Each structure stands twice: as C-alpha cells, then as structure tokens.
Amino acid sequence: MPRSRIRKKKDAAFTPPPAKRTAASKVPSRWIAPVMVTLFVVGLVWIVLWYLAGDQIPGMKNWDIANLFIGFGFIFAGLMVATRWR
C-alpha cells in the first residue's frame, strides 16, 4: 500500500502586533460615573419640579415647554457622558 505524503505546514501568516493604547485611554476616568448620574438626576428633578411646582417657582412658568427640553437636555448630556464610561 502506498504511503501518503506528509503535508508541510505553511508559514504562519503575518499578524500585526496589537495596537498600542494611548496614555489617555489607559487612565480610568473616575469622574464619568458621578457626572453621568448627576446629569440624569438633575434632568429628572428639573422635569418633576416643572410639573409639580412650575407655577410657584418664579421664571419657570415663563419658559413653559422649554422646561421639558431643558430636562431632557440634561438627560441626553448624561447619555453622552455614559458613552465614555467603561
């Protein structure tokens, strides 16, 4: 019975070294989580205050629906900060 040929391994394909991380990406940012939570809470409190006591707080009644956009703006800013959190 004839013997089968032994296959030689091909040269391994070149794999580039892993990308080096910059110094800024190595440092964990401890300020991100507190800022994110603070922006969420401020946005939520702003909206709740507008609904519950908007007439009693001076100046808040004049802005009317803009108060809703301000509250959601804080919440949106919190979401933008959350994208940097690891």
Q: What does the pLDDT look like over 13-64, one tens digit per residue?
A: 777 888 776 666 665 688 899 999 999 999 999 999 999 987 888 877 788 8
Give the span between the Cα atoms of 78 and 45, in whole angstroms: 14
Domain containing residue 53:
26-82
Instruction: Tell me how many domains the chain contains.
Output: 1
Is residue 44 domain-resident? yes
Q: Does 45 map to a domain?
A: yes
The tokens 């808040």 sit on which residue?
A: 60
Specify if 13 maps to a domain: no
Q: What is the pTM of this model?
A: 0.66
56 domain residue, yes or no = yes
Q: Which residue has the higher pLDDT, 74 or 53?
A: 74
Q: What is the pLDDT of residue 28?
A: 66
Residue 54 within a domain: yes
The confidence score (pLDDT) of residue 38 equals 97
Mean pLDDT: which of 5-19, 20-34, 69-83 is highest? 69-83
pLDDT on residue 9: 64
Q: Burial code of 47-69, b = ≥16 C-beta within 10 A, e = fewer?
A: beebeeeeeeeeebeeeeeebee
Task: Kindly state whether residue 47 falls inside one of the protein's structural domains.
Answer: yes
Helix or strand holding residue 35 (H, E): helix 32-53
Do the domain assignments include residue 16? no
